[in-house]
Amino acid sequence: MKRFFYNEPGNITAMMLSLRRTLVQLILYAAIFMTILLLPASCKNKENKTAINSDIYYTCSMHPQVMQDKPGDCPICHMKLLETKKSATQKMDEIRLSEEQVQLGNIQVDTIRNGAIADKQVLIATLNFNQQKIVAVSARVPGRIERLYFKNIGDYVHNGDKLFDIYSEALNNAKQEYLLALDKQKVLDNSLIDFKQLIESAKNKLLLWGLSENQIAALESTHESSAFTTYYSNENGYITSLDIKEGDYITEGGAVVKLADLSTLWAEAQVYTSQLAAIDKQGAVAVQIPDLNNMVLNGSIEFVNPESNPDTRINLMRITVPNKNNQLKPGMPAYIYLSSAKRKALSLPIDAVIRNQNSASVWVKTGSNTFKSKMVETGSETDNSIEIISGLSEGEAVVISGAYLLNSEYIFQRGADPMAGMDMSGHQH
């Protein structure tokens, strides 16, 4: 009994060592078991990772900015996503579209080539009187205006219409001198005095003072001189200025009315000095009248002011246009289209060029459904074409329809404008 208790500590130690070995074995078995359990999950994650980084992605034909790594529906329009392959050779400055995107976006490509293009400028103008067809009717003698036969600006005066009656002492004295010379000729016809010369001198004085041959003949026939003398118009035109009223006194040479012939008008426009060099003064000129259903008239350059305003750098240009049936009215707005002779140049449809304040760019085709943005310098424009001065070479395939859609898609996919960071110096126009 005593021996049993003497050996008890050794027995306890042995038992503890045995338990420790058992515990280590259990931990080892547990680790092996967990490794076996986690191995499929690890393979599955590896497979998912491989799928995510694969050469396939899914996008919407209507919303190409949507890109997912698995099939599904578009979160915007809920259409089924299309499977698309990523191009291993696609560059960062390029964009690749699916065949469906090309068709839906109506992406059309054409080859740039040399063609005929003409310089064209559009100027804003205003119709005005043709100053070369304005005449002033003035008083030949001083006197008082007794009657005006036309009193409104805009009235039309025909050649031969009465304009005004005037009381003039100087003119009345000249008429009396003429009658007196006629009377003396009858009484003293056989004398040594040449009354024919006196009569001719008195008649010429009346003619210079504005009387007509008919008025002088009537004076000779009736042998009566009225206190008032009527003046007639010798021009056709509209009254543009009426500077006197009935009862006013007028000096010799004073203007009574101004008459304007509106058979032709001037379209006057302001031109920057920098534009003058590109204007062909012998070239075709078209004037469009927006107030008359955009009527277009052919005209000619009448005058370009040779002196430039040093402050504004602006010159005045006048275009003469015909005014059939007096449809055109002074003061109407107009557009002047100036064209020069055609010349050879690289050109594209205007819609093919994307422009902002600082640059211009186009999209060129670099591969199958692959496109790249290129900066260009533009020149002259016509109704449908624009000149390409630099940035492209003859024979390149350029997007002529859908360029703005390509630009928008690039921004959606890359988050930046395709021209960002490019050197725009030397390409501004």
Residues 212 and 303 in one domain: no
Sheet containing 143-148, strands listed edge to edge, beginning at the edge strand earlier in sequence: 228-232, 162-167, 143-148, 249-250
Residue 377 lies in a domain: yes
Residues 157 and 226 in one domain: yes
Summary count for the chain: helices (H), strands (E)? 8, 26
Classify burial at 212, counting beta carbons within 10 Å of its beta carbon; exposed 0-12, middle 13-18, buried 19 or more.
middle
- Per-10-residue mean pLDDT of the chain, 429 residues long, equals 46 59 62 57 47 64 70 86 63 79 88 74 89 90 94 91 93 89 76 74 88 89 88 91 90 90 91 74 84 90 79 84 90 86 78 83 90 86 79 89 85 70 48
What pLDDT is recorded for position 306? 77
Give the CA angle between residues 377, 379, 383 to the nearest 5°: 125
Residues 206 and 303 in one domain: no
Counting the structural domains of the chain, the total is 4
Residues 148 and 250 in one domain: yes
Q: Which tokens in the block code for residue 407?
A: 């630009």
Residue 384 lies in a domain: yes
Residues 303 and 376 in one domain: no
pTM, two decimals, is 0.50
Residue 58 lies in a domain: no
Last residue of one domain, picked from the residues 295, 321, 339: 339
Residues 141 and 230 in one domain: yes
Last residue of one domain, picked from the residues 257, 285, 303: 257
What pLDDT is recorded for position 146? 93
Residue 427 lies in a domain: no
CATH number reported for the structural domain that contains residue 361 in this entry: 2.40.420.20
C-alpha span between 70 and 123 (Å, rounded): 57
Residue 143 lies in a domain: yes
What single-letter DSSP state applies at residue 28?
H
Q: Other CB atoms closer than 10 Å to residue 295's CB: what's the count?
A: 13
Residue 179 lies in a domain: yes
Which among 21, 20, 18, 1 has a CA at the least distance from the CA of 10? 18
Residue 205 lies in a domain: yes
What pLDDT is recorded for position 46? 46
What pLDDT is recorded for position 164? 94
Residues 273 and 328 in one domain: yes
What pLDDT is recorded for position 220? 86
Residues 232 and 138 in one domain: yes
- The packing angle between helices 213-222 and 195-208, to 10°, is 130
Residues 303 and 199 in one domain: no
Residues 185 and 253 in one domain: yes
Residue 83 lies in a domain: no
Residues 216 and 138 in one domain: yes
CATH number reported for the structural domain that contains residue 281 in this entry: 2.40.30.170
What pLDDT is recorded for position 169? 92
What pLDDT is recorded for position 49? 44
What pLDDT is recorded for position 284? 74
CATH number reported for the structural domain that contains residue 233 in this entry: 2.40.50.100
Q: Other CB atoms closer than 10 Å to residue 427's CB: what's the count?
A: 19
With residue 33 as reference, give the H or E element that holds it.
Answer: helix 8-52
C-alpha span between 7 and 405 (Å, rounded): 95
Chain-centroid distance of CA 390 in Å reads 23
Q: Which domain holds residue 215?
A: 134-257
Last residue of one domain, picked from the residues 257, 286, 311: 257
Residues 138 and 183 in one domain: yes
